[in-house]
Structure 1
Amino acid sequence: MEKIVILTGAGISAESGLGTFRDKDGLWTRYDLNDVATPEGFARNPSLVHDFYNARRANCAEADPNAAHYALARLEREHRGEVLIVTQNVDDLHERAGASAVIHMHGELRRALCAACGHRWNAPAVMRAADPCPACGRAATRPDIVWFGEFPYRMERIDRALGAADLFVAIGTSGNVYPAAGFVREARAMGAMTLELTLDPSDSATDFHEARHGTATELVPAWVDEILAC
């Protein structure tokens, strides 16, 4: 397999202590997503949105990469072909594990964005609604996160990679969030083999040539060993 495109979702970071949307009593359950994950929510109450993402940023800072993150970084280093990780996650655990070819299609907790001028910079641990943009000075700073109703980042590059992939692998994804849920069909239509590695069958499980179910820390290192042994 010369070119491998890997899509990762919340399930790969769950074993590092970062919750998914469905986690009972998790961070997401204490907030209405319409209030903290939409442009309209930010316009209504930017302080609430910043409080939410400050908590997520602190949660991420306390987490460590797990065996699945390290296995993908090893695959990137040792595979003779190309490896691209496209992640729906806003954490930096792939990078902290050593991966460098990572596209954050939904943005990054560690980055800030000015809603007025579009300037981006490294986010501090705590962001506030009154923080001025370092470029234009306006108090319009927001997390550099793709919210519901916004277009994911770098879709053109992702589409090119899916069209050229020999193997597409989805890890820890629910298969119900678009456009990522459609990646398997796009890759398969262009001739790629497809594999799902998830705790439970995703909503897109039947679209894959093969599906393996279990924890990411068990499945991903074993799969990487298989690829590197070929």
Structure 2
Amino acid sequence: MAPKIVILTGAGISAESGLGTFRDKDGIWTKHRIEDVATPEAFARNPLLVQEFYNARRAQAAEARPNPAHAALAELQRAHPGEVVIVTQNVDGLHEAAGAEVLHMHGALAGALCGACDHRWEAPAAMGAEEPCPACHRPAARPDVVWFGEMPYYMEEILDHLLSADLFVAIGTSGNVYPAAGFVEEARVAGIETLEINLEATEASALFDRTLTGPASEAVPDWVAGLLRG
């Protein structure tokens, strides 16, 4: 039976599409404090600031285009004879734009969520401080993204996929944010082969069986091409 591959992607895979990463020297968190724009408390304290931050990110993502790394993973899903599950920490939608199916563990900029009734809908280009929910009409609309302190989406499904995988691959992620940072440890304990693909080695590299380094737009297509050649 063909091997099952579970892939986790982070901000590094979208960096060459013009979308900023979070933790490098010029990253998003050097320009905005997490506590000000990416927590439930921040939204309660200053909803306009939070909405404007995500409006800007939504506009930036709408202008971005998938790069060869996104295209290569979509091709892997289509061409690999076994199951390929892509889990992303990204909220930008570039995997789908390249033709892949993904599990968005941190939500998506394209979505809106009502904090009062949990209704979900497609987010408008811009949302205001007291954006109304189209279902309950209360002014409780927020981006459908997972903030710090909130539980990521699809965790049970992701862990079921991970523990039934033959290969776990982490691409473009620092390995610093849990629970995703614990995926390689879960895989190691289960005896699953692990691979890291990153611009450079990370603090988590020692946990992986192998690490490939280089720009995602080069390293990921090269890995995929080699895998599909067998």
User: TM-score range with shorter-chain normalisation?
Assistant: over 0.9
Distance 1:85 1:61, change over 3 A: same
Counterpart code for 1:98: G
Counterpart code for 1:220: V
Deviations 1:121-146 (A, max 9, x none): 11011111222101100000000010
2:209 corresponds to which residue? 209
2:155 corresponds to which residue? 155
Counterpart code for 1:157: E
The CA distance in 2 between the partners of 1:29 and 1:113, in whole Å, is: 27
2:75 corresponds to which residue? 74
1:71 CA drift (Å)? 0.1
Q: Which runs of 5+ in 2 are unaligned?
A: none
The CA distance in 2 between the partners of 1:85 and 1:23, in whole Å, is: 24
The CA distance in 1 between the partners of 2:59 and 2:220, in whole Å, is: 26
- Answering whether residue 164 of structure 2 is matched by residue 164 of structure 1, we say yes
1:24 CA drift (Å)? 4.4
Consecutive aligned runs of 4 or more in structure 1 exceeding 6 Å deviation: none
- Answering whether residue 117 of structure 2 is matched by residue 87 of structure 1, we say no
1:226 CA drift (Å)? 1.1
Deviations 1:76-126 (A, max 9, x none): 0000000000001111000000002x0110110000000001111110111
Report if aligned partners of 1:164, 1:190 keep a CA contact under 8 Å in 2: no
1:104 corresponds to which residue? 104
Report if aligned partners of 1:7, 1:86 keep a CA contact under 8 Å in 2: yes
**Secondary structure at the residue paired with 1:95?**
helix
1:44-63 matched pairs, under 5 angstroms: 44-63=45-64
1:178 corresponds to which residue? 178
TM-score norm. by structure 2 comes to 0.97
Report if aligned partners of 1:19, 1:27 keep a CA contact under 8 Å in 2: yes
1:190 CA drift (Å)? 1.6
1:170 CA drift (Å)? 0.4
1:188 CA drift (Å)? 2.1
1:28 CA drift (Å)? 3.9
The CA distance in 2 between the partners of 1:160 and 1:202, in whole Å, is: 26
Counterpart code for 1:7: L
The CA distance in 2 between the partners of 1:145 and 1:99, in whole Å, is: 20
**Secondary structure at the residue paired with 1:176?**
coil
1:31 CA drift (Å)? 2.0
The CA distance in 1 between the partners of 2:209 and 2:26, in whole Å, is: 35
Counterpart code for 1:179: P
Give the superposed CA RMSD.
1.1
1:26 CA drift (Å)? 5.0
Counterpart code for 2:83: E
The CA distance in 1 between the partners of 2:89 and 2:46, in whole Å, is: 25
Q: Identity rate of aligned residues, in percent?
A: 66
Counterpart code for 1:188: R
TM-score norm. by structure 1 comes to 0.97
Counterpart code for 1:142: R
**Secondary structure at the residue paired with 2:14?**
helix
**Secondary structure at the residue paired with 1:116?**
coil
Deviations 1:197-217 (A, max 9, x none): 001112211111101111101
2:13 corresponds to which residue? 12
**Secondary structure at the residue paired with 1:65?**
coil
1:11 CA drift (Å)? 0.4
**Secondary structure at the residue paired with 1:161?**
helix
